[in-house]
Structure 1
C-alpha cells in the first residue's frame, strides 16, 4: 500500500476507523482504546502539523493511557452476568461432594470430580472417602470430610 501524497493525519484517522470496525467484528473491548488513540493522534496532527516521529510518540503515549483508563473503568464497572462463575470451574465446585481417589495424606491427595481427577488439600482421608469441596486455590481443591451421622446405640 502506497501512502505517498496522503497527509499523515488521514492515515491516523483511517487507522482509527479500521480499528473501530475491527472492534465491532471481534468484540473484546481492547481495539476501541487504540482506535481512540489513533483518532486523537490524527486530529492533533491535523491541527498542529506535527512531525511524523512526534505523531508516533503521541500515539504510543495515548494508546498506553487509553488502555490504562479503559481497564480501570471496566474494573470499577463490572458487567453483570446471570452466571458469574461461568469460567471459574474450581469455584463452581464449592459445595460439591467428591470421592477421594488417591489418599489424602499429610494434607495432599487427589479427588474424582465427574470424569476428571483434581489435586486436593484437606484432612487425611482414605481412598473412597466422600469429601465436600469448600474452596479452591488455582486448580487445587480444598476439601473437608463429611460428618458421619452417629448410629443409634441400643
Structure 2
C-alpha cells in the first residue's frame, strides 16, 4: 500500500509540475531573473503549494504520533546550519539558476526526450555517484563539513 500511495503521490506531483510550467527551464529562468524580465507566475505556484503544505504539516506532526503508512515521522534531527548544508544549498541554487531545472522537474521533463534535459539528468546522476563514492572512501568531499 505504501508504494502505491508513493507512486500516486509522485504522479500527481509530476502532473502539477508540468501544468505549472516548473519543468520548462525558460519559465524557471524567467522567474529567477528578478532584475530583468521577471515572470512572477511560479511565485503563485510556490505560494499555493505552501498554503496547502504548511497547515497540513503542522496538523499532522502535532496531532498524530506517527504517519498513517509509516512507523515514524522522518524529521530532521538537527537544526544547525553547517558548511555541508550551506555548500549544498549554494550548489543546488547555482545549478537551478544556470540550468533552469532541479532534480524533480528534470526527472519529470525527461519524458520530453530533449537532449539538454537528458544531459542534465545524466550529469546529476553522475554527480550523485561521485559524491557517494567520495563519502564511502572517506576522501574529503568538495564541500567541507
Q: TM-score with structure 2 length normalisation?
A: 0.25
Larger Rg: 1
Q: TM-score with structure 1 length normalisation?
A: 0.24
Higher helix proportion: 2
